[in-house]
Copies of this chain bind each other. A is one copy, B any other.
Amino acid sequence: MTDITGVLAKADTNLDASLERLFDLVRIPSISTDPAYKDACRKAAEWLVADLLGLGFTASVRDTPGHPMVVAHHEGATTEAPHVLFYGHYDVQPVDPLSLWETDPFTPSVRELSPGRKVITGRGTSDDKGQLMTFVEACRAHKETHGSLPCRVTVLFEGEEESGSPSLKPFLTANAKELKADYALVCDTGMWDSETPAISAGLRGLVGEEVVVTAADRDLHSGMFGGAAANPIHILSRILAGLHDETGRVTLDGFYDGVEETPTQIKAAWETLGQTAEKMLGEIGLAIPSGEEGRSVLELIWARPTAEVNGITGGYTGEGFKTVIASKASAKISFRLVGQQDPDAIRTAFRDYVRAHIPADCSVEFHEHGGSPAIQLPYDSSLLNTAKSALSDEWPKAAVIIGMGGSIPIVGDFQKMLGMESLLVGFGLSDDRIHSPNEKYDLQSFHKGIRSWVRILDALAGAR
Protein backbone atom coordinates (compact mmCIF):
# COMPACT_ATOMS: atom_id res chain seq x y z
CA MET A 1 0.00 0.00 0.00
CA THR A 2 1.11 3.51 -0.85
CA ASP A 3 0.19 6.70 0.88
CA ILE A 4 -3.25 7.42 -0.52
CA THR A 5 -3.85 10.75 1.20
CA GLY A 6 -2.87 12.59 -1.98
CA VAL A 7 -5.09 10.41 -4.14
CA LEU A 8 -8.09 11.00 -1.89
CA ALA A 9 -7.39 14.75 -1.93
CA LYS A 10 -7.25 14.64 -5.72
CA ALA A 11 -10.63 12.85 -5.78
CA ASP A 12 -12.01 15.68 -3.62
CA THR A 13 -10.67 18.52 -5.77
CA ASN A 14 -11.80 16.73 -8.94
CA LEU A 15 -15.38 16.39 -7.72
CA ASP A 16 -16.95 19.24 -9.70
CA ALA A 17 -15.28 18.11 -12.90
CA SER A 18 -16.24 14.49 -12.12
CA LEU A 19 -19.86 15.58 -11.83
CA GLU A 20 -19.71 17.39 -15.17
CA ARG A 21 -18.44 14.22 -16.81
CA LEU A 22 -21.23 12.17 -15.24
CA PHE A 23 -23.78 14.74 -16.44
CA ASP A 24 -22.44 14.38 -19.99
CA LEU A 25 -22.97 10.63 -19.81
CA VAL A 26 -26.46 10.87 -18.25
CA ARG A 27 -27.55 13.25 -21.01
CA ILE A 28 -27.23 10.39 -23.52
CA PRO A 29 -30.60 8.52 -23.46
CA SER A 30 -29.14 5.01 -23.78
CA ILE A 31 -32.35 2.99 -23.26
CA SER A 32 -31.34 -0.46 -24.43
CA THR A 33 -34.75 -2.12 -24.49
CA ASP A 34 -36.26 0.33 -26.99
CA PRO A 35 -34.93 0.13 -30.57
CA ALA A 36 -35.61 3.86 -31.00
CA TYR A 37 -32.56 4.56 -28.78
CA LYS A 38 -30.08 2.35 -30.62
CA ASP A 39 -27.93 5.28 -31.74
CA ALA A 40 -27.92 6.75 -28.23
CA CYS A 41 -26.56 3.47 -26.86
CA ARG A 42 -23.66 3.59 -29.30
CA LYS A 43 -23.07 7.23 -28.44
CA ALA A 44 -22.77 6.34 -24.72
CA ALA A 45 -20.25 3.62 -25.56
CA GLU A 46 -18.23 6.06 -27.69
CA TRP A 47 -18.30 8.67 -24.92
CA LEU A 48 -16.86 6.15 -22.44
CA VAL A 49 -14.16 5.05 -24.85
CA ALA A 50 -13.11 8.67 -25.38
CA ASP A 51 -12.98 9.26 -21.63
CA LEU A 52 -10.92 6.11 -20.98
CA LEU A 53 -8.52 6.97 -23.82
CA GLY A 54 -8.01 10.36 -22.16
CA LEU A 55 -7.04 8.51 -18.97
CA GLY A 56 -4.35 6.54 -20.77
CA PHE A 57 -6.31 3.31 -21.27
CA THR A 58 -6.24 1.50 -24.57
CA ALA A 59 -9.98 1.48 -25.19
CA SER A 60 -12.38 0.61 -27.98
CA VAL A 61 -16.05 0.21 -28.88
CA ARG A 62 -16.60 -3.45 -29.67
CA ASP A 63 -19.55 -4.38 -31.85
CA THR A 64 -21.99 -7.12 -30.93
CA PRO A 65 -25.24 -8.20 -32.63
CA GLY A 66 -26.95 -5.84 -30.14
CA HIS A 67 -25.54 -2.76 -28.44
CA PRO A 68 -21.73 -2.48 -28.35
CA MET A 69 -19.37 -3.30 -25.48
CA VAL A 70 -16.64 -1.01 -24.20
CA VAL A 71 -13.34 -2.76 -23.43
CA ALA A 72 -10.27 -0.95 -22.04
CA HIS A 73 -6.91 -1.93 -20.56
CA HIS A 74 -4.35 -0.18 -18.35
CA GLU A 75 -1.14 -1.59 -16.86
CA GLY A 76 -0.55 -1.48 -13.11
CA ALA A 77 2.36 0.26 -11.37
CA THR A 78 3.84 -3.12 -10.44
CA THR A 79 3.32 -6.65 -11.68
CA GLU A 80 2.98 -7.78 -8.06
CA ALA A 81 -0.51 -6.34 -7.74
CA PRO A 82 -3.52 -8.33 -8.93
CA HIS A 83 -5.18 -7.73 -12.27
CA VAL A 84 -8.79 -6.63 -11.84
CA LEU A 85 -11.65 -6.54 -14.32
CA PHE A 86 -14.15 -3.77 -13.60
CA TYR A 87 -17.71 -4.27 -14.90
CA GLY A 88 -20.58 -1.79 -15.25
CA HIS A 89 -23.35 -1.04 -17.73
CA TYR A 90 -24.02 2.17 -19.62
CA ASP A 91 -27.59 1.31 -20.68
CA VAL A 92 -30.61 2.53 -18.71
CA GLN A 93 -34.26 1.65 -18.16
CA PRO A 94 -37.12 3.27 -20.11
CA VAL A 95 -38.49 6.44 -18.51
CA ASP A 96 -42.24 5.98 -18.83
CA PRO A 97 -44.45 7.33 -17.42
CA LEU A 98 -42.66 10.54 -18.30
CA SER A 99 -45.40 12.65 -16.70
CA LEU A 100 -44.32 11.50 -13.24
CA TRP A 101 -40.79 12.91 -13.54
CA GLU A 102 -40.18 16.14 -11.62
CA THR A 103 -37.09 16.90 -13.70
CA ASP A 104 -36.25 15.82 -17.23
CA PRO A 105 -34.76 12.29 -17.00
CA PHE A 106 -31.94 13.17 -19.39
CA THR A 107 -31.16 16.64 -18.03
CA PRO A 108 -29.21 15.81 -14.86
CA SER A 109 -28.93 18.29 -12.02
CA VAL A 110 -27.88 18.45 -8.39
CA ARG A 111 -30.79 19.18 -6.06
CA GLU A 112 -31.15 19.39 -2.30
CA LEU A 113 -33.51 16.55 -1.34
CA SER A 114 -33.56 17.56 2.33
CA PRO A 115 -31.36 19.95 4.32
CA GLY A 116 -27.75 18.91 3.76
CA ARG A 117 -28.61 16.00 1.47
CA LYS A 118 -27.76 16.63 -2.16
CA VAL A 119 -28.72 14.22 -4.91
CA ILE A 120 -27.94 13.88 -8.60
CA THR A 121 -31.20 13.50 -10.60
CA GLY A 122 -31.74 11.67 -13.87
CA ARG A 123 -32.26 8.28 -15.47
CA GLY A 124 -29.17 6.11 -14.92
CA THR A 125 -27.60 8.28 -12.23
CA SER A 126 -27.82 5.33 -9.84
CA ASP A 127 -28.32 2.43 -12.27
CA ASP A 128 -25.59 2.35 -13.42
CA LYS A 129 -23.86 5.37 -14.93
CA GLY A 130 -23.16 7.12 -11.60
CA GLN A 131 -21.87 3.89 -10.14
CA LEU A 132 -19.52 2.99 -12.99
CA MET A 133 -18.13 6.51 -13.03
CA THR A 134 -17.09 6.19 -9.35
CA PHE A 135 -14.53 3.65 -10.52
CA VAL A 136 -13.42 5.65 -13.56
CA GLU A 137 -12.95 8.75 -11.38
CA ALA A 138 -11.01 6.72 -8.79
CA CYS A 139 -8.64 5.61 -11.57
CA ARG A 140 -8.34 9.26 -12.65
CA ALA A 141 -7.41 10.37 -9.12
CA HIS A 142 -4.71 7.65 -8.89
CA LYS A 143 -3.40 8.46 -12.35
CA GLU A 144 -3.30 12.22 -11.84
CA THR A 145 -1.56 11.82 -8.47
CA HIS A 146 0.99 9.09 -9.21
CA GLY A 147 0.94 8.85 -13.00
CA SER A 148 -0.06 5.21 -12.67
CA LEU A 149 -2.72 2.82 -11.41
CA PRO A 150 -1.98 0.60 -8.40
CA CYS A 151 -3.34 -2.51 -10.16
CA ARG A 152 -3.54 -3.64 -13.73
CA VAL A 153 -7.12 -2.78 -14.77
CA THR A 154 -9.38 -4.10 -17.51
CA VAL A 155 -12.71 -2.37 -17.97
CA LEU A 156 -15.83 -4.00 -19.46
CA PHE A 157 -18.97 -1.89 -19.90
CA GLU A 158 -22.00 -3.43 -21.52
CA GLY A 159 -25.07 -1.80 -23.08
CA GLU A 160 -27.72 -4.51 -22.68
CA GLU A 161 -27.92 -5.14 -18.92
CA GLU A 162 -31.46 -3.75 -18.72
CA SER A 163 -32.65 -5.94 -21.57
CA GLY A 164 -31.34 -9.36 -20.62
CA SER A 165 -27.68 -9.11 -21.80
CA PRO A 166 -28.20 -11.24 -24.94
CA SER A 167 -24.72 -10.48 -26.33
CA LEU A 168 -22.76 -10.94 -23.14
CA LYS A 169 -22.05 -14.67 -23.05
CA PRO A 170 -20.97 -14.90 -26.70
CA PHE A 171 -18.71 -11.88 -26.10
CA LEU A 172 -17.12 -13.41 -22.99
CA THR A 173 -16.57 -16.67 -24.86
CA ALA A 174 -15.02 -14.96 -27.88
CA ASN A 175 -12.78 -12.71 -25.74
CA ALA A 176 -12.08 -14.92 -22.74
CA LYS A 177 -8.32 -14.56 -22.93
CA GLU A 178 -8.44 -10.77 -23.16
CA LEU A 179 -10.95 -10.39 -20.32
CA LYS A 180 -9.61 -12.92 -17.81
CA ALA A 181 -8.27 -11.23 -14.66
CA ASP A 182 -7.62 -12.24 -11.05
CA TYR A 183 -10.80 -10.66 -9.71
CA ALA A 184 -13.92 -9.03 -11.09
CA LEU A 185 -15.15 -5.81 -9.49
CA VAL A 186 -18.84 -5.11 -10.11
CA CYS A 187 -20.43 -1.79 -9.17
CA ASP A 188 -24.18 -2.19 -9.63
CA THR A 189 -25.41 -2.75 -6.05
CA GLY A 190 -26.34 -0.73 -2.98
CA MET A 191 -25.32 0.31 0.51
CA TRP A 192 -27.08 -1.08 3.57
CA ASP A 193 -27.96 2.50 4.52
CA SER A 194 -26.44 5.93 3.92
CA GLU A 195 -23.73 5.37 6.56
CA THR A 196 -23.11 1.66 6.10
CA PRO A 197 -21.38 0.29 2.99
CA ALA A 198 -22.28 -3.22 1.89
CA ILE A 199 -20.74 -6.09 -0.03
CA SER A 200 -23.30 -8.33 -1.69
CA ALA A 201 -22.63 -12.04 -1.44
CA GLY A 202 -25.88 -13.58 -2.70
CA LEU A 203 -27.75 -12.62 -5.84
CA ARG A 204 -31.01 -13.95 -7.10
CA GLY A 205 -31.24 -15.34 -10.63
CA LEU A 206 -33.89 -14.34 -13.15
CA VAL A 207 -36.19 -15.93 -15.71
CA GLY A 208 -38.16 -13.50 -17.90
CA GLU A 209 -41.19 -14.61 -19.90
CA GLU A 210 -43.78 -12.87 -21.99
CA VAL A 211 -47.03 -14.73 -22.63
CA VAL A 212 -49.63 -13.79 -25.26
CA VAL A 213 -53.05 -15.46 -25.11
CA THR A 214 -55.21 -15.36 -28.25
CA ALA A 215 -58.92 -16.24 -28.25
CA ALA A 216 -61.12 -15.05 -31.16
CA ASP A 217 -59.43 -13.98 -34.38
CA ARG A 218 -60.64 -10.39 -33.94
CA ASP A 219 -61.85 -8.01 -31.25
CA LEU A 220 -65.53 -8.66 -30.50
CA HIS A 221 -68.51 -6.60 -29.32
CA SER A 222 -69.18 -7.82 -25.78
CA GLY A 223 -72.92 -7.45 -26.35
CA MET A 224 -72.93 -9.70 -29.36
CA PHE A 225 -70.53 -12.33 -28.05
CA GLY A 226 -70.19 -11.76 -24.28
CA GLY A 227 -71.04 -14.89 -22.33
CA ALA A 228 -70.38 -17.20 -25.26
CA ALA A 229 -66.95 -16.33 -26.67
CA ALA A 230 -63.71 -16.88 -24.74
CA ASN A 231 -62.21 -13.72 -23.21
CA PRO A 232 -58.39 -13.85 -23.22
CA ILE A 233 -58.20 -11.42 -20.28
CA HIS A 234 -60.22 -13.87 -18.17
CA ILE A 235 -57.96 -16.76 -19.22
CA LEU A 236 -54.83 -14.75 -18.46
CA SER A 237 -56.17 -13.51 -15.11
CA ARG A 238 -56.91 -17.07 -14.00
CA ILE A 239 -53.43 -18.18 -15.04
CA LEU A 240 -51.72 -15.31 -13.20
CA ALA A 241 -53.96 -15.67 -10.13
CA GLY A 242 -53.02 -19.36 -9.96
CA LEU A 243 -49.27 -18.71 -9.86
CA HIS A 244 -49.37 -18.31 -6.05
CA ASP A 245 -51.20 -20.27 -3.40
CA GLU A 246 -52.86 -18.74 -0.36
CA THR A 247 -49.62 -18.76 1.65
CA GLY A 248 -47.76 -16.85 -1.07
CA ARG A 249 -45.85 -19.87 -2.38
CA VAL A 250 -45.38 -20.26 -6.14
CA THR A 251 -47.45 -23.20 -7.41
CA LEU A 252 -45.41 -24.31 -10.44
CA ASP A 253 -44.41 -27.98 -10.41
CA GLY A 254 -40.87 -28.37 -9.04
CA PHE A 255 -40.46 -24.61 -8.50
CA TYR A 256 -38.75 -25.06 -5.12
CA ASP A 257 -36.35 -27.78 -6.33
CA GLY A 258 -32.84 -26.56 -5.45
CA VAL A 259 -34.07 -23.99 -2.90
CA GLU A 260 -32.40 -24.50 0.48
CA GLU A 261 -33.34 -22.93 3.79
CA THR A 262 -31.01 -20.06 4.70
CA PRO A 263 -28.47 -21.17 7.36
CA THR A 264 -29.49 -20.13 10.87
CA GLN A 265 -26.34 -18.07 11.52
CA ILE A 266 -26.92 -16.03 8.38
CA LYS A 267 -30.52 -15.34 9.31
CA ALA A 268 -29.28 -14.34 12.77
CA ALA A 269 -26.75 -11.90 11.27
CA TRP A 270 -29.50 -10.35 9.16
CA GLU A 271 -31.67 -9.95 12.22
CA THR A 272 -29.00 -7.75 13.82
CA LEU A 273 -29.46 -5.27 10.94
CA GLY A 274 -32.76 -4.24 12.53
CA GLN A 275 -34.76 -4.30 9.30
CA THR A 276 -38.54 -4.72 9.66
CA ALA A 277 -41.47 -4.95 7.26
CA GLU A 278 -42.79 -1.67 8.65
CA LYS A 279 -39.50 0.14 7.95
CA MET A 280 -38.78 -1.35 4.55
CA LEU A 281 -42.32 -1.25 3.19
CA GLY A 282 -43.22 1.97 4.98
CA GLU A 283 -40.81 3.83 2.69
CA ILE A 284 -42.94 2.91 -0.31
CA GLY A 285 -46.35 3.43 1.27
CA LEU A 286 -46.99 -0.20 2.22
CA ALA A 287 -46.98 -2.15 5.49
CA ILE A 288 -47.73 -5.85 4.99
CA PRO A 289 -45.24 -8.30 3.43
CA SER A 290 -47.02 -9.93 0.50
CA GLY A 291 -44.76 -12.91 -0.21
CA GLU A 292 -44.39 -16.28 1.51
CA GLU A 293 -45.88 -16.28 4.96
CA GLY A 294 -43.67 -16.54 8.05
CA ARG A 295 -40.44 -15.12 6.62
CA SER A 296 -38.69 -11.82 7.33
CA VAL A 297 -38.60 -9.20 4.57
CA LEU A 298 -34.81 -9.58 4.24
CA GLU A 299 -35.18 -13.31 3.78
CA LEU A 300 -37.96 -12.75 1.24
CA ILE A 301 -35.87 -10.49 -0.96
CA TRP A 302 -32.40 -12.02 -0.38
CA ALA A 303 -33.03 -15.72 -0.09
CA ARG A 304 -36.44 -16.71 -1.44
CA PRO A 305 -37.57 -17.18 -5.05
CA THR A 306 -40.51 -15.22 -6.48
CA ALA A 307 -42.89 -14.93 -9.40
CA GLU A 308 -43.91 -11.36 -10.28
CA VAL A 309 -46.05 -10.03 -13.09
CA ASN A 310 -44.21 -6.98 -14.42
CA GLY A 311 -46.79 -5.90 -16.96
CA ILE A 312 -50.19 -6.82 -18.34
CA THR A 313 -52.28 -5.47 -21.19
CA GLY A 314 -55.37 -6.43 -23.14
CA GLY A 315 -58.52 -4.91 -24.62
CA TYR A 316 -59.40 -1.23 -24.44
CA THR A 317 -57.21 0.76 -22.06
CA GLY A 318 -57.72 4.31 -23.32
CA GLU A 319 -59.96 7.00 -21.90
CA GLY A 320 -63.62 6.21 -21.45
CA PHE A 321 -65.13 2.82 -22.04
CA LYS A 322 -65.35 0.34 -24.90
CA THR A 323 -67.45 -2.81 -24.56
CA VAL A 324 -65.02 -5.01 -26.42
CA ILE A 325 -63.89 -8.57 -25.91
CA ALA A 326 -60.26 -8.52 -26.93
CA SER A 327 -58.71 -11.00 -29.30
CA LYS A 328 -55.44 -11.02 -27.34
CA ALA A 329 -54.12 -10.36 -23.85
CA SER A 330 -50.50 -10.48 -22.75
CA ALA A 331 -48.33 -10.33 -19.65
CA LYS A 332 -44.64 -10.08 -18.81
CA ILE A 333 -43.62 -12.27 -15.90
CA SER A 334 -40.29 -12.60 -14.11
CA PHE A 335 -39.10 -15.26 -11.70
CA ARG A 336 -36.32 -14.48 -9.21
CA LEU A 337 -34.28 -17.59 -8.45
CA VAL A 338 -32.14 -18.65 -5.48
CA GLY A 339 -29.84 -21.55 -4.62
CA GLN A 340 -29.67 -24.19 -7.32
CA GLN A 341 -32.98 -23.45 -9.09
CA ASP A 342 -32.61 -24.23 -12.78
CA PRO A 343 -33.78 -21.38 -15.06
CA ASP A 344 -34.58 -23.74 -17.94
CA ALA A 345 -36.60 -26.09 -15.74
CA ILE A 346 -38.59 -23.16 -14.35
CA ARG A 347 -39.27 -21.74 -17.79
CA THR A 348 -40.51 -25.17 -18.88
CA ALA A 349 -42.67 -25.61 -15.78
CA PHE A 350 -44.22 -22.17 -16.36
CA ARG A 351 -44.99 -22.86 -20.01
CA ASP A 352 -46.46 -26.28 -19.17
CA TYR A 353 -48.64 -24.69 -16.49
CA VAL A 354 -49.88 -21.98 -18.85
CA ARG A 355 -50.57 -24.40 -21.71
CA ALA A 356 -52.58 -26.62 -19.36
CA HIS A 357 -54.89 -23.66 -18.67
CA ILE A 358 -55.51 -22.53 -22.26
CA PRO A 359 -58.90 -23.66 -23.64
CA ALA A 360 -58.64 -26.01 -26.62
CA ASP A 361 -59.89 -23.40 -29.11
CA CYS A 362 -57.51 -20.66 -27.90
CA SER A 363 -53.76 -20.39 -28.33
CA VAL A 364 -50.71 -19.07 -26.52
CA GLU A 365 -47.31 -17.78 -27.54
CA PHE A 366 -44.25 -17.30 -25.36
CA HIS A 367 -41.35 -14.91 -25.73
CA GLU A 368 -38.18 -15.51 -23.75
CA HIS A 369 -36.61 -12.53 -21.96
CA GLY A 370 -33.40 -13.75 -20.37
CA GLY A 371 -32.58 -16.42 -17.84
CA SER A 372 -29.81 -16.82 -15.29
CA PRO A 373 -29.28 -18.93 -12.17
CA ALA A 374 -28.75 -17.45 -8.70
CA ILE A 375 -25.25 -16.79 -7.42
CA GLN A 376 -23.87 -17.34 -3.93
CA LEU A 377 -20.41 -15.82 -3.37
CA PRO A 378 -18.18 -17.03 -0.49
CA TYR A 379 -18.94 -15.29 2.81
CA ASP A 380 -15.25 -15.37 3.71
CA SER A 381 -12.43 -14.75 1.22
CA SER A 382 -9.30 -12.59 1.02
CA LEU A 383 -10.87 -10.42 -1.69
CA LEU A 384 -13.97 -9.82 0.40
CA ASN A 385 -12.08 -9.17 3.62
CA THR A 386 -9.68 -6.70 1.96
CA ALA A 387 -12.56 -4.76 0.45
CA LYS A 388 -14.52 -4.84 3.68
CA SER A 389 -11.65 -3.26 5.56
CA ALA A 390 -11.05 -0.57 2.89
CA LEU A 391 -14.75 0.37 2.84
CA SER A 392 -14.90 0.51 6.62
CA ASP A 393 -12.04 3.07 6.56
CA GLU A 394 -14.04 5.39 4.31
CA TRP A 395 -17.54 5.30 5.78
CA PRO A 396 -18.94 6.13 9.23
CA LYS A 397 -19.90 2.52 9.89
CA ALA A 398 -18.24 -0.80 9.16
CA ALA A 399 -19.16 -2.60 5.93
CA VAL A 400 -21.70 -5.46 6.14
CA ILE A 401 -22.10 -8.57 4.03
CA ILE A 402 -25.63 -8.81 2.66
CA GLY A 403 -27.82 -10.66 0.18
CA MET A 404 -29.41 -9.05 -2.81
CA GLY A 405 -32.86 -9.30 -4.35
CA GLY A 406 -31.86 -8.35 -7.87
CA SER A 407 -30.03 -10.30 -10.53
CA ILE A 408 -26.57 -9.58 -11.95
CA PRO A 409 -26.13 -12.50 -14.33
CA ILE A 410 -22.58 -11.45 -15.23
CA VAL A 411 -21.33 -12.59 -11.82
CA GLY A 412 -22.27 -16.17 -12.64
CA ASP A 413 -20.74 -15.88 -16.08
CA PHE A 414 -17.46 -14.52 -14.64
CA GLN A 415 -17.38 -17.50 -12.30
CA LYS A 416 -18.26 -20.19 -14.83
CA MET A 417 -16.68 -18.85 -18.00
CA LEU A 418 -13.61 -16.99 -16.74
CA GLY A 419 -13.03 -18.63 -13.36
CA MET A 420 -13.07 -15.25 -11.58
CA GLU A 421 -14.44 -14.46 -8.15
CA SER A 422 -16.46 -11.24 -8.12
CA LEU A 423 -16.57 -8.43 -5.57
CA LEU A 424 -19.95 -6.67 -5.53
CA VAL A 425 -19.64 -3.19 -4.08
CA GLY A 426 -22.00 -0.33 -4.88
CA PHE A 427 -23.25 2.88 -3.38
CA GLY A 428 -26.93 2.96 -4.29
CA LEU A 429 -29.57 3.66 -1.62
CA SER A 430 -33.01 2.13 -1.28
CA ASP A 431 -34.71 5.41 -2.16
CA ASP A 432 -32.81 5.83 -5.44
CA ARG A 433 -35.98 4.97 -7.41
CA ILE A 434 -34.05 2.96 -9.95
CA HIS A 435 -36.33 1.75 -12.80
CA SER A 436 -38.88 4.37 -11.64
CA PRO A 437 -39.56 8.01 -12.37
CA ASN A 438 -37.27 10.46 -10.51
CA GLU A 439 -34.22 8.19 -10.27
CA LYS A 440 -31.42 9.84 -8.30
CA TYR A 441 -27.98 9.10 -6.84
CA ASP A 442 -26.81 10.74 -3.65
CA LEU A 443 -23.96 13.17 -4.18
CA GLN A 444 -22.34 11.49 -1.18
CA SER A 445 -22.66 8.08 -2.86
CA PHE A 446 -20.83 9.49 -5.85
CA HIS A 447 -18.14 11.32 -3.90
CA LYS A 448 -17.40 8.71 -1.24
CA GLY A 449 -17.92 6.00 -3.85
CA ILE A 450 -14.97 7.41 -5.79
CA ARG A 451 -12.93 7.56 -2.56
CA SER A 452 -13.98 3.98 -1.76
CA TRP A 453 -12.56 2.65 -5.04
CA VAL A 454 -9.37 4.66 -4.45
CA ARG A 455 -9.00 2.75 -1.18
CA ILE A 456 -10.02 -0.65 -2.54
CA LEU A 457 -7.63 -0.49 -5.51
CA ASP A 458 -4.82 0.52 -3.20
CA ALA A 459 -5.68 -2.19 -0.66
CA LEU A 460 -5.86 -4.89 -3.33
CA ALA A 461 -2.45 -3.83 -4.63
CA GLY A 462 -1.01 -4.03 -1.12
CA ALA A 463 -2.69 -7.29 -0.19
CA ARG A 464 -0.49 -9.39 -2.46
Contacts and interface: CB of A to CB of B under 8 A. Distances in A.
Interface stretch (A15-23, A227-235, A265-273, A386-394): A227-235
Contacts of A93: 322
A42 interface: no
A407 to B, nearest CB: 6
A36 B14 CA distance: 52
A308 interface: yes
A290 B230 contact: yes
A312 to B, nearest CB: 5
Interface string A220-257: 11111111111101101110111110000000000000
Contacts of A314: 309, 311-313
A287 B360 contact: yes
A320 to B, nearest CB: 3
A224 B332 contact: no
A242 B246 CA distance: 14
B229 A233 contact: no
Contacts of A280: 228
A137 to B, nearest CB: 25
A167 interface: no
Interface stretch (A75-83, A105-113, A209-217, A417-425): A209-217
A6 to B, nearest CB: 37
Interface in A195-212: 204, 206, 208, 210
A387 B434 CA distance: 66
A312 B329 contact: yes
A405 interface: yes
Interface residues of A, number: 100
A434 B221 contact: yes
A359 interface: yes
Contact of A227 (B164, B291, B310): B291
Given A218-B437, A223-B404, A315-B310, A228 B323 contact: no
A369 B435 contact: no
A163 interface: yes
A96, A233, A407 interface centre (most CB from chain B within 10 Å): A233
A157 to B, nearest CB: 20
B234 A240 contact: yes
A35 to B, nearest CB: 7
A220 B94 contact: no
B34 A224 contact: no
Given A33-B320, A222-B310, 19 more contacts: A32-B320, A164-B321, A206-B323, A216-B285, A216-B286, A220-B436, A223-B405, A227-B290, A227-B301, A227-B305, A234-B240, A234-B309, A240-B241, A312-B313, A312-B317, A312-B329, A313-B314, A320-B369, A324-B436
13 contacts: A33-B319, A94-B322, A216-B286, A218-B436, A223-B301, A229-B281, A229-B290, A230-B286, A237-B309, A286-B361, A312-B315, A313-B317, A324-B436
Interface of A: 32-35, 93-94, 96, 162-164, 204, 206, 208, 210, 215-231, 233-234, 236-238, 240-244, 277, 280-281, 284-292, 297, 300-301, 304-306, 308-326, 329-332, 334, 336, 359-362, 369-370, 404-407, 430, 433-437
